Chain A
Amino acid sequence: MKRKINLKNILLVFISLVVLNQTGYAQDEKEEPQQIVRLHYYNVNNNLQYLVLESLLKTGRKIEPVKKKAYRIYLDSVARSNFIAGVLTNEEGKVKAVIPPELKSIWDEKSEHTFIVTSEVAGEEETPTEFNIIKSKIAIDTSNVDGVRNVTATVMKQENNEWVPAGDVELKIGIRRMDNTILSAGEEPTYTTDSDGVATVEFNKINMPGDSHGNLIFTASVSDNDELGNLSVDKTLSWGVPLKDDNSTFGQRTLWSTRFKTPYWLLILAYSISIGVWSTLIYLVFQLVKIKRLSIQRPG
C-alpha cells in the first residue's frame, strides 16, 4: 500500500490540527475514528538513513496525534529475521527508528524495499501498513563561470541494482536556513529534474549573509517523494558575505538596557540629586545629635 507523503504539508496540517479546539465541525459529524500511520524515510547525504513513524487518529475533521502507542517495523516481510525495531510514539505521536546492521543482507539484496508497520497492541486487529521506497542518491554540484554561479542537483535511483537517472523529481535547491527551511537559490520555490536526473539553478542572490566567513550551506532536498522518500545533500560554499551581527541595540548604555548599563547622564543626574539631598538630611540628623549633646554637656 502506497502513501502519498508530503512532509511539509503534513507537518503544517498536523500541527494546526493538534491544537484545534474548535468543536463546530466535529459535533455534527460522528464518524468512526480512523487510525492513520505514516512512515517517512530519510536519506541524508547518501549515508545516514532513518525512519520516522507518525501515528494519528482522525475523528471527523479532527486529527490528533496518538501518544505512547507501540508499533513494530519490519523490512520487506513480517518475520523475526526482518525485524527493524519496536517503537513507542512520543507526545507528538512520532518516533524515530534506524535499520540495524543485522539486516545488511536483506538491505543489500534488492533495489526496492517495503517497510511494514504493525501495531503491537494485543487484541487490536490492524492490517499491517506498508511503505515502499526505492534506493536512491542525490548529488549537489556548483560552478562559477564568469560570475554566473550555478547549482546543479542530480538524483539517481537504483533499478535492478543499476543506478539510473531519476527524472521528473520535484526538489528544492537553495540555502539551508532556520528550522531546515530552504531559501531557494533561484526565483522558483521548487525545481524538477530532467530525464538525466539533473536540475540546474542560477544562484542570483547578491550579498546573501552567510556565517562569519561568508559560508552558505547549499542544499538539494527531495521531500516525501512517492518512490524515494526524503533525500538531501549539502555543500558548503563561501558564496555569501560574512555575517554582520547588528548588536547596536544590545549592551549599550540606553534607557532600555539593564541596570548595569544605565546611561551615564542619568546616573550622574540621579546620584548627584540623591547625594545632594541626602547629605543635607544627614547633616540635619547630625544637628539633632548636636542638640542632644548640648543637653548632656550642660549639667557638667
Chain B
Amino acid sequence: MNTENLKISTVENLITTPPKSKAKSDEIIRDLLPQKFGRQGMIWVAVLTAICCVGAFAYYRQLKHGLVVTNMRDYVSWGIYISNFVFFVAISLVGSLITAIFRLSNVKWSTPLTRIAEIIAVSAIVFASLIIIVDMGRPERLLNLFLHGRIQSPILWDVIVIGTYFFISVLLLYFPLLPDFKILIRFKEKTGKKLNRLYRFQGSFWKGTKEQFKISDKSINILCITIIPVAFCIHTVTSWLFATTYRPGWDSTNFGAYFISGAFLVGAGGVVVAMYMFRRAYRLEKYITDMHFEKMGRMVVLLAFLYLYFNINEYLIPAFKMKKMEAHHLTELFAGEYAPLFWFTIFIGMILPVIILLFKKGRKPKPAFIAGVMVVVGAWFKRYLIVTPTLLNPLLPMQNVPENFKHYFPSWEEWAIAMGSLSGALLLITLFARIYPIIPIHETIEEQNKTDEKISLVE
C-alpha cells in the first residue's frame, strides 16, 4: 500500500475533530478502502467461478433432459436443491440478527460486522431464490406464480416474504453505505475510474448534511425494526413448507421455532467464518479484533444451546411415544441408514463447537473459525436430514416402484448445481467486498471518535 502518495481531502464532518482523530480516521480509511485482489484472491475467485460454471453446465443438462438427471424420484421428490434452499434461507437470517437485533439493543461492538452479515444475507437470499427455480420442473412458468397465484399456498407466502426480505436487506445494505460512498468518491485514485463511476451513480447525492443524516438514521432504525418480523416470517414460512404436510418428521408444531433457532446458529457461525476470512484476506486485525471472536463465540454457544434445545424437543418427544408412523423415521435417523449423518450433524454442528467455544482459548480467532466452519457444515447436512429421510418414510408403504425410487443419493448434476450455488453466493460476497468497503468506514470513524472523546474526557 502506498500511503505516502495518498492525498486525503478533508472529510466534511470530520472538520471539527482534533488533528489526532483526523490522522486516525485517515488511517481507518486507508485500511478499509476496497482493495484489488491479490494472487490468493484471484485463485479464490477463479475456483469459485469454475465451480459455478460446472453448476451452470449441470443446469443446462437438467433443462435439456428434465429433472431425470437428478436422482430425485416420486418418493424423494425434494432433494438437495430444497435442503440447499433451506440452508440459504437459514443463513440469510443472520442479517437481521447482527444488524437489527444488535443495533436495536445498542450493541456497539458489532459495527464492523454489520456489513458482513448484511451481504451474507443478500447473497444467500438471492441464491435461495435461484435454487428454488432450479428445483422447478417448469422454470419457464415462473410467472404463473404471479398470474395465477393462490394465496392459500405456503409457497406463495414464501415468494412474498422472500421478495420482501430481499428488498429490506438491500435497503439495509444501502442506507449505511451512503456515507461511505462520499468517502469512496473522494478516493478516486485509490479505487479506480470505473468503480468511481459506479459510486457516483449510487451515492453522489450524499453530502453528509445533518438533515441527510437525520433521515438516514431514522430510516435505518425503521428498517431494523421491520426486518425482524420479516426475517422470522421468512424462515417460519419456509418451515411451514414442511410442517403443513402430514409426513412423519415434518408434521410438527415445533417447526417454526426449530428452524429459526437453527437459522440463527448457522448465521452466527457463518459470520464467524466470514470474519476470519476477511480479517486474513484484508489484514483487518485492527478492526475485527480478538474481542469480536470472543463475543461472537459466546453468541454461537448461546445459539447452539438454543438449537440443541429445540432438537431435543423435535426428536425426543416423538421418540418417547414412538408412534408407528414416526417410529421407522426415527430409528432410521438414530440407528439406521442415516444415523452416521444424524449424529455427525448433532456433534459437529452443535456439541463440538459448543465445547470449543466454551473455553476462552477456543474463542481465539483460529479455533473460533474452525468451530464456525463446523457449525456451517453441520447445518448444511442438517437441512439434508430434515428433507430426505422423511420423504423415504411415506405413510403408505413404498411398493410397485423401481428400486431406485426407494433410495436417494444426489446425482453429480445435483451436487454440481448445489455446490455451484454455494460458490455463487461466496463469489457474490467476494465481489461485493472488492467493490465496497466490507467494514463500514464512516461508522468505524464515528465509533473511534466517540471512544477517543471518552478517553480524553477521562484524561
Known: A266-B151, A270-B157. A281 touches B164 (CB 8 A): yes
Q: How far is the CA of A257 from the CA of B164 in the complex (A)?
A: 26
B207 touches A295 (CB 8 A): yes
Q: Is A98 an interface residue (CB 8 A)?
A: no
Q: Is A236 an interface residue (CB 8 A)?
A: no
B152 touches A262 (CB 8 A): yes
B interface residues, how many (CB within 8 angstroms): 30
Q: Is B65 an interface residue (CB 8 A)?
A: no
A298 touches B207 (CB 8 A): yes
Q: CB-CB < 8 A to B206: which residues of A?
A: 291, 295
- Nearest-Cβ distance from residue B422 to partner chain A, whole angstroms: 29
B212 touches A291 (CB 8 A): yes
A259 touches B151 (CB 8 A): yes
Known: A277-B164, A294-B207. A288 touches B150 (CB 8 A): no
User: Which residue, of A258, A263, A292, A295, has the highest number of chain B Cβ atoms within 10 A?
Assistant: A295
Partner of B209 from the list A258, A278, A287, A294 (CB cut-off 8 Å) is A294
Q: How far is the CA of A6 from the CA of B259 in the complex (A)?
A: 64
- Nearest-Cβ distance from residue A105 to partner chain B, whole angstroms: 61
Chain A 260-300, CB-CB to B under 8 Å as 1, else 0, gives 00110011001000100110110111011011101110100
Q: Is B167 an interface residue (CB 8 A)?
A: yes
Partner of A270 from the list B151, B171, B212, B215 (CB cut-off 8 Å) is B151
Known: A280-B222, A284-B223. A291 touches B215 (CB 8 A): yes
B178 touches A291 (CB 8 A): yes
Q: Is B230 an interface residue (CB 8 A)?
A: yes
Partner of A290 from the list B152, B164, B178, B215 (CB cut-off 8 Å) is B215
B209 touches A274 (CB 8 A): no
A291 touches B205 (CB 8 A): yes
Q: How far is the CA of A280 from the CA of B229 in the complex (A)?
A: 13
Partner of B211 from the list A274, A281, A294 (CB cut-off 8 Å) is A294
Q: Is A163 an interface residue (CB 8 A)?
A: no
A262 touches B164 (CB 8 A): no
- Nearest-Cβ distance from residue A262 to partner chain B, whole angstroms: 5
Partner of A259 from the list B150, B167, B175, B211 (CB cut-off 8 Å) is B150
Closest to B219 in A: A287
A259 touches B148 (CB 8 A): yes
Q: Is B226 an interface residue (CB 8 A)?
A: yes
Chain A contact residues, majority secondary structure: helix
Q: Is A48 an interface residue (CB 8 A)?
A: no
Partner of A287 from the list B151, B168, B204, B218 (CB cut-off 8 Å) is B218
Q: CB-CB < 8 A to A294: which residues of B?
A: 205, 207, 209, 211-212, 215
B164 touches A284 (CB 8 A): no
Closest to A292 in B: B205
Partner of B226 from the list A257, A277, A290, A291 (CB cut-off 8 Å) is A277
Known: A281-B167, A291-B178. A266 touches B226 (CB 8 A): no
Q: CB-CB < 8 A to B148: which residues of A?
A: 259
- Nearest-Cβ distance from residue A11 to partner chain B, whole angstroms: 27
Q: How far is the CA of A92 from the CA of B304 in the complex (A)?
A: 67
Closest to B167 in A: A281
Which residues of B389-427 are within 8 A (CB) of A? none
Q: How far is the CA of A267 from the CA of B216 in the complex (A)?
A: 34
A284 touches B222 (CB 8 A): yes
Q: Is B6 an interface residue (CB 8 A)?
A: no
Q: Is A250 an interface residue (CB 8 A)?
A: no
Q: CB-CB < 8 A to A266: which residues of B?
A: 151-152
Q: How far is the CA of A281 from the CA of B225 in the complex (A)?
A: 12
B151 touches A262 (CB 8 A): yes
Partner of B164 from the list A278, A283, A285 (CB cut-off 8 Å) is A278
User: Which residue, of B152, B157, B204, B211, has the highest number of chain A Cβ atoms within 10 A?
Assistant: B152
Q: How far is the CA of A294 from the CA of B150 in the complex (A)?
A: 42
Q: How far is the CA of A281 from the CA of B163 in the complex (A)?
A: 12
Q: Is A256 an interface residue (CB 8 A)?
A: yes
Q: Is B149 an interface residue (CB 8 A)?
A: yes
Which residues of B145-166 are within 8 A (CB) of A? 148-152, 157, 160, 164
Q: Is A255 an interface residue (CB 8 A)?
A: yes
Closest to B160 in A: A274
Q: CB-CB < 8 A to A284: which residues of B?
A: 171, 219, 222-223
Closest to B223 in A: A284
Q: How far is the CA of A287 from the CA of B218 in the complex (A)?
A: 9
User: Which residue, of A257, A284, A285, has the highest number of chain B Cβ atoms within 10 A?
Assistant: A284
Which residues of A132-166 are within 8 A (CB) of B? none
- Nearest-Cβ distance from residue A291 to partner chain B, whole angstroms: 5
Q: CB-CB < 8 A to B212: which residues of A?
A: 291, 294-295
- Nearest-Cβ distance from residue B88 to partner chain A, whole angstroms: 21
B215 touches A287 (CB 8 A): yes
Partner of A281 from the list B151, B168, B216 (CB cut-off 8 Å) is B168
Partner of B150 from the list A258, A274, A291, A296 (CB cut-off 8 Å) is A258
Q: CB-CB < 8 A to B204: which residues of A?
A: 295
- Nearest-Cβ distance from residue B94 to partner chain A, whole angstroms: 20
Q: CB-CB < 8 A to B226: which residues of A?
A: 277, 280-281
A267 touches B151 (CB 8 A): yes
- Nearest-Cβ distance from residue B109 to partner chain A, whole angstroms: 26
- Nearest-Cβ distance from residue B404 to partner chain A, whole angstroms: 22
Which residues of B162-198 are within 8 A (CB) of A? 164, 167-168, 171, 174-175, 178
A298 touches B171 (CB 8 A): no
Q: CB-CB < 8 A to A280: which residues of B?
A: 222, 226
Q: How far is the CA of A15 from the CA of B157 in the complex (A)?
A: 47
- Nearest-Cβ distance from residue A148 to partner chain B, whole angstroms: 49
Q: How far is the CA of A119 from the CA of B212 in the complex (A)?
A: 97
A298 touches B152 (CB 8 A): no
Q: How far is the CA of A256 from the CA of B244 in the complex (A)?
A: 13
- Nearest-Cβ distance from residue A215 to partner chain B, whole angstroms: 40
Q: How far is the CA of A280 from the CA of B206 in the complex (A)?
A: 22
Q: CB-CB < 8 A to A256: which residues of B?
A: 152
18 CB contacts below 8 A, A to B, read A255-B152, A258-B150, A259-B150, A259-B151, A262-B150, A263-B152, A266-B151, A280-B222, A280-B226, A285-B171, A287-B216, A287-B219, A288-B175, A290-B215, A291-B206, A294-B207, A295-B207, A296-B205
Known A263-B152, A287-B215; further 15 A-B contacts with Cβ < 8 A: A255-B152, A259-B148, A259-B149, A259-B152, A262-B152, A270-B160, A278-B164, A280-B222, A281-B168, A283-B222, A284-B171, A288-B174, A288-B219, A294-B205, A295-B209
Going nearest first, the 3 A-B pairs with the smallest beta carbon separation are: A295-B205, A259-B150, A292-B205
